[in-house]
């Protein structure tokens, strides 16, 4: 017997070669799983993975980021744009480079979006402890700062010997390609092991295809689900992100066309139906449309498809008020399917929706119910029109007029990215999603600073598509640095930068919960110690220009329209900077959100807010 073929490589070289040979396959289409690796080098990865990435630069594209957190955001945006069928890796130095990943990892895992994290780690040999940037835990000698990534990862391992990679790399990739359990996957890489050579079996580097399965519904669960839908007088669908991940939009439309069941959507699910489909009622919950929330209060069967039922969706447990309301959850994870004591259909969204449509053949909701929700939809469309319309082209635009101007300029395929501030609520209520991938809201973690780096990852996945990052001034200040990367990579992303001198969203929330807008405006400190002076003299447009963007300053509605049209066809990264006019013209929330208010206080603002809070919280139901 001849010895099996081996290849002598460092652990880092072997990992890069292995990753370059992984593929996903769904519906007969094969794609590269890891399309590229983001990296910032320092001690902990420069000599290991850094060396491997230059050695194999033809097999594994490399992207240079500015901050580790932002690199994860870019990778997450990329994976979401590609329906989780491809992902990217992120390599960091040890210490601060590694812990900068934690926020991005949490965001990825909460949104169930795959990203491979490769932080450098201490010497497995412990030969030179304590290293620069090493935690040096006095009791648990095997702990490193990378252990902070455990609770925010769906898979975690520390590769303390080269051959440990053989088993662990396969487990890591399984999670990255899994349609249910995915999120951040962390392989912490001690830097001495990265550089160590080993004789790797040749089979480790063979092309490997991970089928992204579409589990079919269980026949007994399906029969129960069909009975529940047939028995319901006022069924309502809540479409979540799972509809998009599964590419189930067509199956949803067929079910809805046949049955007349109306569709509301979460932040992750919006766009599951086109906005002008007669059964699309738009967002649901605290940031939902009036028609969705009215229907949710009276629905007797709520059909959740690919949703995790966050507090925004359920109005913190107060939204679904029909005395006999039941839930039916179609979800690929049993964990989510069982929420709200629902009837379950644990399967792929597309497979489940198609099976439901077939089994419900001939069934249709009451004509009166259809007439009712269509009238509600028509009323809401007038609300959107009013919020978008600008009577005076020469005036400073409100934030909703900014969205109206953007609405007028985008095409069907443009992608609009946002995550935090007052924009997510305005967008959820008002945006007219024209295609499944257009509405890109990260609202699982709602992380300020996701937008700009995510735009890079989306643009890499969709070259030629106009990609818009919408950011408030507070969000911009938190994480503008990936603008430099957009310039470096020649990615013509578009930035709409909305200046309102602070945290409009949290200011409003603060006021409503008795916290008096404390610490939410960007204003000078004055003699009494408060921040109530003039707005700060910062020039964020000049800042964006200094990082390499082309910047268009729009002072009026007319200038804004022109600037957006110019930005849309620009071939360089372009920022449209606009100062908005207060107050917000957005329609008010039609459902509650639970933010507990001080139970005792010497200040009137808090005691008044507490009374309102106690009235609202009394509506909470436990669905058991």
Ligand X SMILES: Cc1ncc(C[n+]2csc(CCOP(=O)(O)OP(=O)(O)O)c2C)c(N)n1
Number of other CB atoms surrounding residue 216 within 10 Å: 13
Size of the site for Mg ion (CB under 5 A): 4
CB of 388 to Mg ion, least distance (A): 20
CB of 446 to ligand X, least distance (A): 5
Give strand pairing partners of 344: 329
| Interacting residue with Mg ion among 500, 510, 543, 574 (CB under 5 A) | 500
CB 472 within 8 A of CB 132: no
CB of 402 to ligand X, least distance (A): 11
Place of tokens 């690919």: 306
311, containing H or E segment: helix 311-314
Which of 108-116, 436-444, 465-473, 598-606 is the region at the interface with Mg ion (rule: CB under 5 A)?
465-473
CB of 477 to Mg ion, least distance (A): 9
Q: Which is nearer to Mg ion, 243 or 471 (CB)?
A: 471
Q: What is the 3-state secondary structure (H, E, C) of 152-176?
A: HCCEEEECCCCCHHHHHHHHHHHHH
Q: Which does 192 bind (CB under 5 to 8 A by kind): ligand X, Mg ion, none?
A: none
Q: Which is nearer to Mg ion, 345 or 423 (CB)?
A: 423
d(CA 489, CA 71): 13
Q: Which is nearer to Mg ion, 278 or 535 (CB)?
A: 535
Q: Which does 398 bind (CB under 5 to 8 A by kind): ligand X, Mg ion, none?
A: none
β-sheet with 301-305: strand ranges across:
280-283, 263-265, 235-239, 301-305, 326-331, 343-346
507 is a contact residue toward Mg ion (CB under 5 A)? no
d(CA 113, CA 33): 13
CB of 495 to Mg ion, least distance (A): 14
CB of 54 to ligand X, least distance (A): 33
Question: For the chain, what's the residue count?
Answer: 624
Q: Applying CB under 6 A, which residues contact ligand X? A: 420-423, 446-449, 472-475, 500, 503-506
Closest CA to 64 of 32, 39, 84: 39
Q: Which is nearer to Mg ion, 348 or 473 (CB)?
A: 473
Supply 400's token pair: 């909703």
Supply 402's token pair: 């900014």
499, containing H or E segment: strand 494-499
Q: Which is nearer to ligand X, 234 or 494 (CB)?
A: 494
Q: Which does 446 bind (CB under 5 to 8 A by kind): Mg ion, ligand X, none?
A: ligand X
d(CA 374, CA 609): 36
| Interacting residue with Mg ion among 336, 426, 473, 550 (CB under 5 A) | 473
Q: Which does 455 bind (CB under 5 to 8 A by kind): Mg ion, ligand X, none?
A: none
Closest CA to 549 of 570, 533, 520: 570
CB of 506 to ligand X, least distance (A): 5
Alpha helices of 241-348 — where are they, by DSSP H?
A: 241-245, 249-259, 290-298, 311-314, 334-337
CB 318 within 8 A of CB 619: yes
298, containing H or E segment: helix 290-298
Using DSSP's 3-state secondary structure scheme, residue 286 falls into coil
Q: For residue 586, what is the DSSP state?
A: S
Q: Which does 67 bind (CB under 5 to 8 A by kind): Mg ion, ligand X, none?
A: none
CB of 575 to ligand X, least distance (A): 15
Give residue number: closest CB to Mg ion: 472
**Cis amide linkage into residue 583, ω under 30° from 0:** yes
| Interacting residue with Mg ion among 472, 492, 507, 514 (CB under 5 A) | 472
CB of 451 to Mg ion, least distance (A): 13
| Interacting residue with Mg ion among 114, 425, 474, 492 (CB under 5 A) | 474
CB 303 within 8 A of CB 270: no
Closest CA to 485 of 71, 69, 19, 164: 71
Number of other CB atoms surrounding residue 168 within 10 Å: 17
Closest CA to 352 of 505, 457, 189, 243: 243
Q: Which does 342 bind (CB under 5 to 8 A by kind): Mg ion, ligand X, none?
A: none
Q: Which is nearer to Mg ion, 498 or 570 (CB)?
A: 498
CB of 422 to ligand X, least distance (A): 3
Q: Which does 113 bind (CB under 5 to 8 A by kind): ligand X, Mg ion, none?
A: none
268-327 residues near Mg ion, rule: CB under 5 A: none
What are the phi and psi torsion angles at 597 (to 5°)? Answer: -105, 150
Q: Which is nearer to Mg ion, 317 or 508 (CB)?
A: 508
Which of 32-40, 353-361, 366-374, 472-480 is the region at the interface with Mg ion (rule: CB under 5 A)?
472-480
Q: Which does 180 bind (CB under 5 to 8 A by kind): Mg ion, ligand X, none?
A: none
Which of 55-63, 154-162, 353-361, 471-479 is the region at the interface with Mg ion (rule: CB under 5 A)?
471-479
CB of 114 to Mg ion, least distance (A): 31
Question: Contact positions toward Mg ion, by CB under 5 A?
Answer: 472-474, 500
């Amino acid at each position: 017997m001849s010895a099996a073929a081996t290849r002598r490589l460092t652990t880092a070289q072997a990992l890069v070669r292995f990753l370059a040979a992984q593929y996903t396959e769904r519906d007969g289409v094969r794609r590269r799983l890891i399309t590229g690796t983001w990296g910032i080098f320092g001690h902990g990865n420069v000599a290991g993975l850094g060396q491997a990435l230059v050695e194999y630069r033809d097999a594994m594209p490399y992207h240079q980021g500015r901050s580790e957190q932002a690199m994860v955001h870019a990778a997450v945006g990329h994976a979401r744009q590609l329906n989780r069928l491809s992902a990217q890796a992120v390599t960091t130095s040890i210490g601060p480079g590694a812990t900068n990943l934690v926020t991005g990892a949490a965001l990825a895992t909460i949104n169930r979006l795959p990203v491979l994290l490769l932080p450098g780690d201490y010497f497995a040999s412990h030969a030179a402890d304590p290293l620069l940037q090493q935690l040096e835990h006095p009791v648990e000698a095997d702990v490193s700062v990378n252990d902070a990534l455990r609770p925010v990862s769906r898979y975690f391992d520390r590769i303390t010997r080269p051959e440990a990679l053989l088993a662990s790399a396969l487990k890591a990739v399984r999670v990255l390609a899994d349609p249910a359990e995915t999120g951040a996957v962390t392989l912490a890489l001690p830097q001495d092991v990265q550089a160590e050579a080993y004789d790797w079996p040749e089979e480790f580097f063979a092309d490997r295809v991970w089928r992204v399965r579409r589990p079919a519904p269980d026949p007994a669960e399906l029969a129960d689900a069909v009975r529940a839908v047939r028995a319901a007088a006022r069924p309502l669908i809540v479409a979540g992100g799972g509809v998009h991940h599964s590419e189930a939009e067509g199956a949803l439309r067929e079910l809805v066309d046949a049955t007349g069941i109306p569709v509301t959507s979460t932040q992750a699910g919006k766009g599951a139906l086109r906005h002008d489909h007669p059964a699309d009622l738009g967002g649901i919950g605290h940031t939902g449309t009036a028609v969705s929330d009215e229907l949710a209060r009276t629905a007797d069967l709520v059909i959740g498809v690919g949703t995790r039922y966050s507090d925004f969706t359920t109005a913190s447990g107060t939204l679904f008020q029909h005395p006999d309301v039941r839930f039916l959850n179609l979800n690929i994870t049993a964990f989510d399917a069982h929420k709200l004591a629902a009837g379950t259909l644990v399967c792929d969204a597309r497979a489940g929706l198609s099976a439901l449509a077939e089994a419900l053949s001939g069934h249709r909701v009451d004509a009166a119910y259809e007439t009712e929700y269509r009238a509600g939809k028509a009323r809401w469309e007038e609300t959107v029109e009013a919020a978008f319309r600008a009577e005076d082209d020469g005036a400073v635009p409100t934030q909703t007029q900014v969205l109206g101007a953007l609405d007028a300029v985008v095409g069907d395929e443009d992608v609009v990215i946002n995550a935090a501030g007052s924009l997510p609520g305005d967008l959820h209520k008002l945006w007219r999603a024209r295609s499944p991938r257009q509405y890109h809201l990260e609202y699982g973690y709602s992380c300020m600073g996701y937008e700009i780096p995510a735009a890079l990852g989306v643009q890499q996945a969709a070259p030629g598509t106009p990609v818009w990052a919408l950011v408030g001034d507070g969000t911009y200040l938190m994480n503008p640095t990936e603008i430099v990367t957009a310039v470096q990579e020649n990615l013509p992303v578009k930035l709409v930068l909305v200046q309102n001198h602070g945290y409009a969203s949290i200011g409003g929330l603060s006021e409503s919960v008795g916290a008096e807008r404390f610490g939410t405006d960007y204003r000078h400190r004055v003699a009494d110690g408060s921040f109530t002076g003039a707005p700060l003299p910062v020039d964020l447009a000049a800042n964006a220009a200094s990082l390499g963007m082309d910047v268009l300053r729009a002072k009026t509605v007319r200038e804004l329209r022109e600037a957006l049209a110019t930005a849309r066809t620009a071939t360089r990264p372009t920022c449209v900077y606009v100062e908005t006019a207060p107050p917000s013209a957005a329609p008010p929330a039609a459902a509650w959100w639970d933010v507990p208010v001080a139970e005792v206080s010497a200040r009137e603002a808090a005691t008044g807010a507490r009374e309102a809070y106690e009235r609202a919280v009394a509506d909470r139901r436990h669905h058991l």
